[in-house]
Amino acid sequence: MGSLTSGSVVKTFFRHLFMGFGSALVLSLYSVVDAIMVGRYEGEDGMAAIATIVPIWTIALSIGLLFGIGGATRIASALGAKKEEKARGYFAVTIILLLAVSVLAWLVLLFFDRQLLSYFGAEGPILELALLYVRPIKWVLPLVIFAQALTSFVRNDGSPLYASLAVIIGGIGNIVFDYLLVFTFNLGIYGAGIATAGSESLTCLLLLIRLFFFPKRLRFVKPKDFFYRASDILASGFPSFIIDAATGIVAVFMNRQIVSCFEGEEALAIYGVIGQFAFVALSFSYGIAHASQPLIGANLGAHRPKRVKKLLELGTASAAVLGLLFTLAALLLPQELASLFMTDPQPDVLMAASDYILPYAGTFFFLTLNVYWAYFFIATYNTTLSIVISIFRSIVLPLLFIYVFPLIMPPLSLFYAMLAVEALVSIVSAGVILFFLKKKPSRLLGTERPSVPIAAEASSEGLPPSR
């Protein structure tokens, strides 16, 4: 753990960030490559089907990250404080919780996939396409959820490179088999679902092998104080669940409003393009957050507030640059983004791309900042604060703005709703951070370890004091 709590903060951060971005790139490819292949094979209906699948995908990911981030936050702090048995206890409890919730989610999707997709906005031929995609994924849903959580554990167990490689190998497999199954074997959207299910399963298998056959510090032990540790994990992970589930929750609201406010499939298909682009932005935002999380936890546990503050600055700057790049891409290339996901789109679809993507573009700048700051609050144990902000960002404000904007303004205002949500949350979050840094810095950064006299330090180690 010494490399996390000593040496150059900047070098350590960017080393973890590079590996985090590698994982983020491949994670985004799982969804984006599927969408590109499906859009080019199935056309507008395929992209509309993908838009209705987004809530299922994001909720599955958010369940994995609920326990991955919740458990990893507690594990990192315990390892930073040199308490390996405590860290192992949290690891064991997290695995048990993860298994129970994964099986429950699997049963829900297994028996209620049609009802869920219908509620998420799929109708007629779009519903049938969505069901084809989900059919192979629902059989391996627990592995999909586990893959998200285990990545965080492998990073905390001292192998961030292995974690990234496991995700990259699965992602490359997804790309190869997507092309083969969708086009070569002519399976269309069903082939994309098979490729995704197989690649996620492969990633999960590689991570399980590393953790359970070649562990370093984390080992599965008989858990003590199960319910106490479970409450700690859920408290630390719940804000992250809300953050990640926000994409799925917002997608449900948006899908239903788009079907209500616009005729035809163009608006829903373009929102499918926006959703894929947003998923890429979120994946890279998670890369920043996940790269920072073990560093923040370790330095909090080791009482290094100056290093924690530097990590806050580095993460915020990285998120701002990332968000600016995604905003510029959406502003400058709306029709090119639509063409990427569909073969020879009709002129009315390209016009719709400009009409709907441009109002949404500014959302990406604030989104990346909000994701990083929310994860920073989680990593520094400001759990209540993170939960309150996350609930307003993911449920209260989207529900209000998405339904109110089209009532008092033209239907196109629906695509400005999330910009208003993300901008407002960014202003509030930045104000909270500045307030605490000025008035209560220990609330965000922790406290310095009190200096220990040499004699006392030696005595605590069972050695005679030096003379």
The pLDDT tens digits for 236-284 are 888 778 877 877 888 888 998 998 898 777 888 899 899 889 888 988 9
Angle between helices 188-213 and 44-80 (to 10 degrees): 10
Tell me, what's the pLDDT at 461? Answer: 34
* pLDDT tens figures, 380-393: 888 888 888 888 98
pLDDT tens digits along 100-109: 999 999 999 9
Contact 139, 199 (CB under 8 A): no
Q: Which residues, at least 6 apart from 379, have a Cβ–Cβ distance to it below 8 Å? A: 73, 76, 292, 293, 296, 297, 300
Alpha helices in 180-225 (DSSP H): 188-213
In the predicted structure, residue 375 carries a pLDDT above the cut 80: yes
Name the residue with higher pLDDT: 2 or 58: 58
The owner of tokens 């404000």 is 397
The residue to which tokens 């989900």 are assigned: 134
Provide the pLDDT for residue 450.
58
Helices vs strands, H then E, count in the chain: 19, 0
pLDDT band at 456 (very low <50, low <70, confident <90, very high): very low
Q: Which two tokens stand for residue 463?
A: 């050695």
Res. 455 pLDDT band, cuts 50 70 90: very low
Q: For tokens 């409890």, what's the residue?
A: 93
Q: With a cut of 80, say whether residue 446 has pLDDT above it.
A: yes
**What pLDDT, in 10s, does the model give residues 173-229?**
998 999 999 999 999 999 999 999 999 999 999 999 999 898 888 888 888 889 999
The confidence score (pLDDT) of residue 465 equals 35
**Above 60 in pLDDT, residue 138?**
yes
- C-alpha 289, offset from chain centre: 9
Say if residue 436's pLDDT is above 50.
yes
Please report which confidence band the pLDDT of residue 322 belongs to, taking 50, 70 and 90 as the band edges.
very high
Largest CA distance in the chain: 86
The pLDDT of residue 47 is 87
Overall average pLDDT of the 389-407 stretch = 91
Q: Which pLDDT band, with edges at 50, 70 and 90, does 1 fall under?
A: very low
Question: For residue 151, what are the contacts with CB-CB under 8 A and spacing of at least 6?
Answer: 23, 68, 163, 166, 167, 207, 290
Which residue from 326, 322, 343 is spatially nearest to 334, judged by alpha carbons?
326
Dist. CA 389–CA 401, nearest whole Å = 16
**pLDDT of res. 107:** 96
Dihedral of the alpha carbons of 370, 252, 61, 424, in degrees to the nearest 10:
10
CA 64 to chain centroid, in Å, comes to: 9
Task: Note the pLDDT of residue 342.
Answer: 83
Instruction: Please tell me the predicted confidence (pLDDT) of residue 217.
Output: 85
300-376-372 Cα angle (round to 5): 150
Residue 303 has pLDDT above 50, yes or no: yes
Average pLDDT over the chain reads 87
Say what the pLDDT of residue 209 is.
Answer: 95
pLDDT at residue 317 tops 70: yes
Return the pLDDT at 387: 84
Q: Which amino acid is at 256?
A: R
Please say whether the beta carbons of 169 and 202 come within 8 A: yes
Cα separation of the two ends of the chain? 31
For the chain, percent of residues with pLDDT exceeding 90: 49
Give residue 463's pLDDT: 34
CB 235 within 8 A of CB 70: yes
pLDDT at 424: 97
Confidence class for position 25, pLDDT limits 50, 70, 90: confident
Contact 428, 389 (CB under 8 A): yes
Mean pLDDT of 300-312: 91
Distance (Å, whole) CA 283 – CA 26: 9
Query: How deeply is 169 buried, as exposed, middle or buried, from its count of CB atoms within 10 A (0-12, 13-18, 19+)?
Result: middle
* Residues 5, 69: Cα–Cα separation, whole Å: 20
Given a contact cutoff of 8 angstroms between Cβ atoms, the answer to whether 4 and 293 are in contact is no
Q: Go through 137-161 and write b for each residue having 16 or more CB atoms within 10 A of its CB, e for each that does not.
A: bbebbbbbbbbbbbbbbbbbbbbbe
Q: What is the pLDDT of residues 43-91, one digit of tens each?
A: 888 988 988 898 898 889 889 989 988 898 888 888 878 888 998 999 9
- Give 9-58 as a DSSP string: HHHHHHHHHHHHHHHHHHHHHHHHHHHHHHHHHHTHHHHHHHHHHHHHHH
Residue 37 and residue 194: Cα distance in Å, rounded?
Answer: 13
Nearest-5° Cα angle at 116, 114 to 118: 70
* Euclidean distance between CA atoms 47 and 51, whole angstroms: 6
